[in-house]
Amino acid sequence: MSKYWTIKEFSKLTGVTVRTLQYYDEEDILKPHHKSDAGYRFYSSESLQVIQKISVLKYIGFNLKQIKSILSTNQLNWLDSLNLQAKIIQDNIVRLNQGLILIKKSINLYTENNEIEWQSIAKMLEVFKMTHDTIVKEWSLRNFTDSEISFFAEMNFQQSRVDNEELWIKLFAEAKSLMNKDPASSEVQSLAKKWIDSANNQYTNNPELGMKMWELMKTGDLPAGLIPGYEQETVLFMNQAIAILFKDKV
């Protein structure tokens, strides 16, 4: 007799959250083996194999859009794709090594002199920032057109980047504090409206680009530190809340 797991059992077995499994189902990345008449999801050993593939592909750097294509068509130039992921990982290794050097240098200076030579550390930090900027640039070129990249640059010029970062730090912090609540609750729905209003304010002249960025946020395909406070799981939680908000308006 075949073994089937409920979504909660499958989540515990795989370490993938229920919310993420629901998202995979909605996006046709991983469908449950079947659903009961009441709509409950059930997963099989084949589902487990798919989760393992997703985990490996995510670990080596593929985003969910690429993973969906790989799983559905199995058509991919593996050599080019793996070489690209190898370069991305190498860039991250360089960035982390520079951060480690920065920390060790600070420790050594403080141990020897009971103070830190800030000018020297600041110069090393500039190198660290240049590496991160390169990673962000390559990510931008992979995901956006030249006109969309220009829009981002213009948006940052017209709006205060610092103010936007502070706003989203607060919004993410508030969302994380509410993740134990029902997305349909009044508190979460109120926050969902704040998220929508804030996004609309940022992307007033290009709502399609705002939606494209939101899709990337849902897949987890963002360079580290690009959006302060960002966590994919928080975005998926707010995505559920926003879907309920729009459904109630219809």
Q: How many degrees, rounded to 5, is the angle at CA 71 between CA 68 and CA 76? A: 90
**Statement: 5-73 belongs to CATH 3.30.1360.30:** no
Query: Residue 235: which pLDDT band, with cuts at 50, 70 and 90?
Result: very high
Structural domain boundaries in the chain: 5-73, 78-143, 146-249
Query: What integer is the mean pLDDT of 61-70?
Result: 80
Q: What percentage of residues in the chain have a pLDDT greater than 70?
A: 76
Q: Is the pLDDT of residue 151 over 60?
A: yes
Q: What is the pLDDT of residue 154?
A: 67
**Tokens representing residue 58 in the block:** 């995510």
pLDDT for the residue 249 = 61
Q: Is 140 exposed, middle or buried (0-12, 13-18, 19+ CB in 10 A)?
A: middle
Distance set, CA 140 to CA 146, 149, 151, 213 (Å):
9, 7, 12, 11
Average pLDDT over residues 226-234: 85
State how beta strands 5-6 and 41-43 pair: antiparallel
Name the pTM for this structure. 0.63
Give the pLDDT score at 73.
Answer: 72
Q: Is the pLDDT of residue 250 over 60?
A: no
| Eight-state DSSP code of residue 5 | E
pLDDT digits (tens, 9 = 90+) for 21-63: 999 999 899 999 999 988 899 999 999 989 988 887 887 777 7
pLDDT at 94: 67
Residue 80 has pLDDT above 70, yes or no: no
Separation between Cα atoms, residue 243 and residue 220, nearest integer Å = 19
Residue 166 has pLDDT above 90, yes or no: no
Burial class of 115 by CB neighbour count within 10 A (0 to 12, 13 to 18, 19+) = exposed
Binned at pLDDT 50, 70 and 90, residue 11 comes out as very high
pLDDT at 190 over 80: yes
Q: Taken in order 117, 118, 123, 125, is the CA torsion positive or negative?
A: positive
- Specify the pLDDT at position 118: 66
186-202 and 161-177 helices, crossing angle to 10°: 160
pLDDT higher than 60, residue 218: yes
Summarize pLDDT for 81-117 with one digit per residue, the tens.
677 667 667 766 766 776 777 777 777 777 777 776 6
What distance in Å separates the CA atoms of residue 48 and residue 51, rounded to the nearest whole number?
A: 5
**CB of 95 closer than 8 Å to CB of 136:** no
Give the pLDDT of residue 136: 73
